[in-house]
Amino acid sequence: MKINGSLAAASLTVLLFNASPCRTQTGSQRSGSYYSGRYVNLFVQLLGKNESETRGKIDTAFNRLFFGGDESQRVCYPAGDDMGYVEDIANGDVRTEGMSYGMMIAVQMDRKDVFDRIWKWAKSNMQVQAGPHSGYFAWHCKTDGTVLDSTAASDGEQWFVMSLLFASARWGNGNGIYDYRTEAQEILNTMLHKEDEPDHGNVTDMFDAKSKLVSFVPAAQASWFTDPSYQLPHFYELWARWTNNQFWCDAAKASRDLLQQAADPKTGLSPDYSNFDGGPLDRWGRGHDDFRFDAWRVAMNIAMDHEWFDKDPREVEEANRLLNFFYSQGIDAYVNQYSLNGKPLSHDRSLGLVAMNAVAAVASTNRNRQEFVEKLWNSPVPSGFYRYYDGMLYMLAMLQVSGNFRIYDPTGKPVEACTK
C-alpha cells in the first residue's frame, strides 16, 4: 500500500506554499469561490434576510456552543489556563472529529484564542508520540486526556490539516506547536508516508495508493475500505496547490468519483461505509451499508466542493436528487436514517441532518432548496444530550449556508491545479 513512484521524492520534504503547483494559470477562466473570492449567502438570497441578521444568528450559535451553560448548551469546555476540548456529550468522550471541527469553526470565526486552546489539547493529549501510530491522533480520549483508542480516524486528521493551514494564512505562524504550517506539514507527511517508517506495524498510510481514496482507518483491514463522508475533494484541491504534489490532484478526482459511485441513483442517499468502488459495505454487522449518521455529511462535502471549485456538474445533480428525496418524505417529517433505496430505518428526526440538507442547497438548483434553508434558519441551536454532533453540524451549516465558510489562501492569488 505504499505510495511510490513520483511521490517518493516528496517523502518527508513536502513543501507547503510552493510557487509552482501542478499547473499554473490565471483563475479568471474558472468559476468557484476559490477564483472569484465570492461566497453566496442563501439566507440573504433566498430568505430576504440581511447580513446583520445573519451575523447575529451565527454569533448566537457560536456563543452557546462554545461558551454557553455547562449542563445543556456548550460542547467546548476549558481545561486549565490555556487548553480546551470539544466533548461528545452523549458518549462522554473527546473525538478528533469534534476537535478538528471546533478548530475549523474557530478559524472561520476569527477566534484564535479558541483555536489555540483546542489545538493545544489535541496536540498534548491525542497525538501519538511513539510506536506504530506515532504522528497520528488517537480518535477518542476521556475528557481528562486519557487515550481510549490510539487508532486514528481519517476524518479528524484531514480537518486538522485544513484548519491549521487556514490558521497559518489568516493569523501567521508562531513558535512551537503554534507554527501552524509546520504542524500541518508534519501531519500530511504522516498521512502519505506512514508505511515508510520501519516500525509502522499494521498501521498504514491514510490514503490507499491504488484508488487514491482516504481509508476509513489507517490500520490493518480497516484501511481496505472508506467512508463517503470522509471524501473532501475541495481540501485536496487546495493541498495540491500548496504542496506541489500530484497525488492530491489525483485524490480530488478519485473522491469526486467515489461520491457519485456511492450515492443511490434514485434517492441520492449514500452509505456510512463503502468499498473503494463505491459499493455499500456493512462492516461489523452494524448497518453501515445504509444512510446513517456519518452519511449526513456527504451533502456538505458535495456542496462545498461545488461552491469552492465548481468543477463537477454531477454534484449539482446529486444535490438536487438528495433534496428531492427528502422533500418527498415531507419537509417536516423525514427521519434521520434510511436504507439506500429510501426505506425509513428510524422514527427520529435530527437537527444535524436538517443542517446538512440546508448546506446541500448551496449546490442545488431545485426550487425546494429555499424550504431547506428556511428550516435551518428557524431551527434552534441544538441543546441537551445530543447537542455535540447536531451542534457541530449546525454551526458548520450556519457558516456554509451564509457564505462564511471561506478559503484562507497563503499564496495570495488563485492558481490552477488538478487539470487532469
pLDDT tens per residue across all 420 residues of the chain: 333 333 333 333 334 443 333 333 343 457 899 999 999 999 999 999 999 999 999 999 999 999 999 999 999 999 999 999 999 999 999 999 999 999 999 999 999 999 999 999 999 999 999 999 999 999 999 999 999 999 999 999 999 999 999 999 999 999 999 999 999 999 999 999 999 999 999 999 999 999 999 999 999 999 999 999 999 999 999 999 999 899 999 999 999 999 999 999 999 999 999 999 999 999 888 899 999 999 999 999 999 999 999 999 999 999 999 999 999 999 999 999 999 999 999 999 999 999 999 999 999 999 999 999 999 999 999 999 999 999 999 999 999 999 999 999 988 888 887 665
Q: How far apart are CA 178 and CA 278, in angstroms?
A: 38
Burial of 209 from C-beta contacts in 10 A (0-12 / 13-18 / 19+) = middle
Q: How many CA atoms lie within 13 A of 165 on its CB side?
A: 28
Residues sharing a CB contact under 8 Å with residue 173, sequence separation 6 or more, in sequence order: 179, 180, 181, 182
DSSP for 201-219 reads: TTB--SB-TTT--B-SSSB
Q: Which residues lie across from 95 on neighbouring strands?
A: 140
Q: How far apart are CA 382 and CA 185, in angstroms?
A: 34
390 among known catalytic residues:
no
Residues sharing a CB contact under 8 Å with residue 284, sequence separation 6 or more, in sequence order: none
pLDDT of residue 420: 56
Q: How far apart are CA 272 and CA 391, in angstroms?
A: 20
φ, ψ (nearest 5 deg) of residue 301: -70, -40
**What distances in angstroms separate CA 243 from CA 55, 107, 179, 411, 414, one per listed residue?**
34, 21, 17, 11, 14
Catalytic member of 97, 227, 305, 310: 97
Catalytic member of 183, 294, 312, 318: 294
97 among known catalytic residues:
yes
**What distances in angstroms separate CA 121 from CA 204, 230, 347, 407, one per listed residue?**
25, 23, 37, 25
